[in-house]
Amino acid sequence: MDLRELYQDIILDHARSPRNFGALSEPSHLAHGHNPLCGDKLTVFMKIDDDHITKVSFEGRGCAISTASASLMTQILTGKSVAQADAVFAAFHARVTTGAAVEVASDLEDATERLEPLTGVRTYPARVKCATLAWHTVDAAVKGGVLGTTIKTE
Ligand code: ZN
């Protein structure tokens, strides 16, 4: 199996059985995200304690890329600090839009490696919004707080 097939399998696995799918009962932060270009819609729920992300979940409907990205994201961000989440998103965003490999702190290398399967979308600009929707939504949740904000990528 070549790398491309392996990446495809990882994306399909997460798209078919998304991890941490469903609302959190008492989120401290949440936000809604919408990617009108593709029709992806999701809500991100978070529990943030003292700048540490103790729980992240999502629900919604979207294409395989947006669902797989959200699923991987919930796994990666659980247990991270808000600053670490920002750093992982910045590196992923650069990688997925420009192809550049961004250096991250050694304790975040594992996180950026786990996102590699999604970085193939950079050759399909329309899909970049799908891959980054969940991350933009988490960013909005962290900044918007418990009342929730709605973001629309364009
Ligand atoms: Zn999509």
**Domain range spanning residue 32?**
3-152
Q: CA 149, CA 137: separation in Å to the nearest integer?
A: 9
Residue 64 Cα to ligand 1 midpoint, Å, equals 7
Confidence of residue 126 (pLDDT cuts 50, 70, 90): confident
Confidence of residue 35 (pLDDT cuts 50, 70, 90): very high
The number of domains in the chain is 1
Q: What is the pLDDT at residue 80?
A: 98
- Amino acid residing at 92: F
Whether pLDDT at 82 is above 80:
yes
pTM: 0.92
Residue 100 Cα to ligand 1 midpoint, Å, equals 22
Q: What is the pLDDT at residue 145?
A: 63
Compute the mean pLDDT over every residue in the chain, rounded to the nearest whole number.
Answer: 92
Q: What is the pLDDT of residues 39-78, one digit of tens each?
A: 999 999 999 999 999 999 999 999 999 999 999 999 999 9
Q: What is the pLDDT at residue 154?
A: 55
Residue 120 Cα to ligand 1 midpoint, Å, equals 14
Residue 50 Cα to ligand 1 midpoint, Å, equals 33
Q: What is the pLDDT at residue 125?
A: 83
Higher pLDDT, 126 or 109: 109
DSSP string, 29-86: EEEEEEETTTTEEEEEEEEEETTEEEEEEEEEE--HHHHHHHHHHHHHHTT-BHHHHH
Q: What is the pLDDT at residue 2?
A: 79
CATH of the domain at 51: 3.90.1010.10
